[in-house]
Amino acid sequence: MGRRWRDGHGELVVHGGDGVPSVRVPLEVATSYRARTKGLLGRDALDGAILLSPANSVHTFRMRMPIDVAYLDRGLRVLTVRTMRPGRLGMPRFRARHVIEAMAGAMGEWGMREGARVEVVVPAEDG
């Protein structure tokens, strides 16, 4: 069930449970070492979310804003969601394969919580 994405843009779909509708959010995809390392550094805001893959931990050193962090397993199920202030080092989550970052408070509005399932939709490659 390995996933292969490329740096770029797409959409994050947070599937609601118990009759709650799914939420679609603009998504940046960061899979190269360079893109993952840069992440949200130097930004004051983010429209939507950013996916770091592969990743099982993050830090907020040199960030300008607090962020929500969701750790995902290989099946894109949320293991845990944390809010991190700037200047923090997150503990590695050993079952995590992907990390999603967003502005603090956004994930709660989207219904992203432990056990939620998400989907990453990227445009089909021309070929």
pLDDT tens column, 54-87? 999 999 988 889 999 999 999 999 999 999 999 9
Task: Report angle CA 117, 119, 120 to the nearest 5 degrees.
Answer: 150
**Global confidence as pTM:** 0.91
Q: Rounded to an integer, what distance in angstroms lies between the CA atom of residue 60 and that of residue 88?
A: 5
29 bridge partner residues = 8, 51
- 127: Cβ contacts below 8 Å, ≥ 6 apart: none
pLDDT tens column, 96-116? 999 999 999 999 999 999 999
pLDDT score recorded for residue 127: 41
Q: How confident is the model at residue 3 (pLDDT cuts 50, 70, 90)?
A: low
Q: 89: which DSSP letter?
A: B
